[in-house]
Structure 1
Amino acid sequence: MDFMDVSLVALRVFREVAERGTLTAAATALGYTQSAVSRQIASLERVAKAELLERRHDGVRLTPAGHVVLRRAAAVVDQIDAAARELAGLPVEGGTVRLGWFPIAGAVVVPQAVAELRRTNPTITVLTREGSTPSLVRALRAGTIDLALLASAPPFRPFDAVTPAFRTRKLAERSLRLAVPATHPFAGRDWVTVTELHGQQWIASASATEMGVWPGLDERPRIAHTARDWLAKLSLVAAGCGITTVSDSLTRIVPQGVRVIDVRGGSTESRRTVLAWLRHPLPEPAARLAEVIESHY
């Protein structure tokens, strides 16, 4: 494939589609119509003489050829962006780290790590973004982030089956707990059983990949409220609107009016936090940020 025959627009569109997982989401992010995105992908496939995307009912998936093109496209786009930043007098890519994080990490660790790095290494620029673990995995593959804090649930399988595999560092593995209002009958106890969770009123997550209802609860849960961010969920708990599942790491920041207790019985429920990256070796700024993040776990 000769990149001289490919427009920079097509490469950017392809990378956006790879990261977002659907043509519609990529079009929205870029401000294009879906048909315009489709035309750019088609032009890239003509030059590559291969199908780059597998169209599925739930979006698109990169073909083996698509993964090859993505690696090359990400390198080309990053070099162009670095040149533009240098010409504009902004920090070049060597001094910038792009970090992705899942919501719980952003509530506790990310602000502390970024603040420390600003004190100890003020020349390093950290750009951060929140996302679900699946979206951050796609972003790592697309090259739009350098490091990602990812959440993993038992049996802790690899995040994807693509080659090369991600480099990973296990940061923590913590049990899940239950957040209840201070006025709830559970609030005066240190733990409850899974059986006692039956019939409770839940504050659920807006995303199926995030916590809300206790995992594996063997009944149709009574969901009173659905919220996307943790502050909203914990505020609803404090207001007595229901109970919700939380990571043990959130106990440091629960608001007044919330008690965090253990759940016993059934299978052990835990979540692992992993730092993942693709480039090896890591550039010095990213390696320094990784060290700081690890020190906060």
Structure 2
Amino acid sequence: MELTLVGLRVLRETAERGTFTAGAQALGYTQSAVSRQVAALERAVGTPVFERRPDGLRLTRAGRVLLRRARTALDELDLAAREIDDRQGSRRARIGVVPSAGIALLPRVLAVLARTTPELEVSSRVATTPALVRAVRAGTLDLAVVTSRPPHRPLDPESPALVVETLGESGLLVAVALDGPLGERNALTVDDLAGHPWIATPSRSDEPQLGVWPSLPGRPRVLHTAADWATKLALVAAGAGLTTVTPLIVPALPAGVRALPVLDGPAEVRRSVAVRLPDADLHPGLVEAFVEVLDDPASATGP
């Protein structure tokens, strides 16, 4: 078996991102170069490492075994490079969060880490839950904080099982314009939501559409879709529609927007969870920083 470092890096990046195209973009390669590297890997191990599917790539059993070993080897080489670069006295943490945490939670967590563990070099990434889980599995993130909804199924089917630690739970809210028809309310009912237009996140094959109240009867009237929170909340402020938010978003609500609970119907609870590999060597202050910020009552209050 003859494996190359380039091939192992291609395996890791492609496994994380789920397609040859995305893996090539991350590495700065052409898609054909990535395909050739994967083909060479598969010749070396004598079996496919990826299962080609309509919705993207999935690691085969051989691919999972190879990725696990490749991740260890690449991490050790990265560590050696840092030591040679006279940075052996520092530690690094690579964290990822979903967009709802990125807009308000992540800056506060980074501030806590800067205060409590100034020796820790932190890099971060904001992405969807499926993308973050793939990154943790591939070893390019040490920790991801994502949102889980009932019935809280496993985040992926691969083994070993990811370590999932609950950081907190909160109810889903609806963001409304202060000068709109619901702006004077302190709480809402499902009937109050009927007939209003909605602002949603574009739907994806690996993640359901977000932004519409889950138990809303009938077909929702989605007039606007946006992937980023700044656009969604600006549209709410302009009176273009409603969107759902978690309490994590509340400290970052712009002027003219408030978040209200919905009192009736099924409870819509969202759970913030930290995800890592079983053998992840985490700095002890990393999870504690997220817990400290999530425990702050200011993260659950708003205008």
TM-based fold match above 0.5? yes
The one of 11, 19, 23 equivalent to 1:14 is 11
Cα distance in 2 between the residues matched to 1:88 and 1:53: 35
- Name the % identity: 47
Q: 8 Å contact 2:97–2:146 — kept in the other structure?
A: yes
The residue matched to 1:212 in structure 2 has which SS?
Answer: coil
Give the counterpart letter for 2:253 in structure 1.
V
The one of 199, 205, 212 equivalent to 2:201 is 205
Give the counterpart letter for 1:280 in structure 2.
D
Cα distance in 2 between the residues matched to 1:155 and 1:254: 28
Cα distance in 1 between the residues matched to 2:88 and 2:124: 15
Cα distance 1:281–1:182, how it changes in 2: closer, same or farther (>3 A)? closer
Q: 8 Å contact 2:188–2:263 — kept in the other structure?
A: yes
Cα distance in 1 between the residues matched to 2:79 and 2:235: 44
Structure 2 match to 1:107: 103
Cα distance in 1 between the residues matched to 2:279 and 2:72: 14
Moved more, 235-244 or 57-66: 235-244
Q: 8 Å contact 1:91–1:125 — kept in the other structure?
A: no
Does residue 172 (structure 1) correspond to residue 168 (structure 2)? The answer is yes
Structure 2 match to 1:239: 238
The residue matched to 2:21 in structure 1 has which SS?
Answer: helix
Deviations 1:116-170, CA, capped at 9 Å, x for gaps: 2112221111111111111111001100010110111110111112111111210
CA displacement at 1:51 relative to structure 2: 1.5
The one of 64, 78, 83 equivalent to 2:80 is 83
Deviations 1:214-249, CA, capped at 9 Å, x for gaps: 224333322222221212211221122211111123
Cα distance in 2 between the residues matched to 1:55 and 1:217: 37
Cα distance in 2 between the residues matched to 1:82 and 1:192: 53
CA displacement at 1:296 relative to structure 2: 1.5
Q: Could you tell me the TM-score, scaled by structure 2's length?
A: 0.90
Q: How many residue pairs end up in the alignment? A: 291
Q: 8 Å contact 1:106–1:130 — kept in the other structure?
A: yes
Give the counterpart letter for 1:282 in structure 2.
D
The one of 49, 52, 55 equivalent to 1:55 is 52
CA displacement at 1:192 relative to structure 2: 2.2
Moved more, 206-215 or 272-281: 206-215
List gaps (5 residues or longer) in structure 2: 295-303
Aligned positions of 1:1-297 closer than 5 A: 2=1, 5-90=2-87, 95-208=91-204, 209=207, 211-280=210-279, 282-283=281-282, 285=283, 287-297=284-294
The residue matched to 1:188 in structure 2 has which SS?
Answer: coil
Q: 8 Å contact 2:51–2:59 — kept in the other structure?
A: yes
CA RMSD of aligned residues (A): 1.8
The residue matched to 2:262 in structure 1 has which SS?
Answer: strand
Larger helix proportion, structure 1 or 2?
1
Moved more, 182-191 or 96-105: 182-191
Cα distance in 2 between the residues matched to 1:10 and 1:294: 38
Deviations 1:186-218, CA, capped at 9 Å, x for gaps: 111122222332221111113544631222433
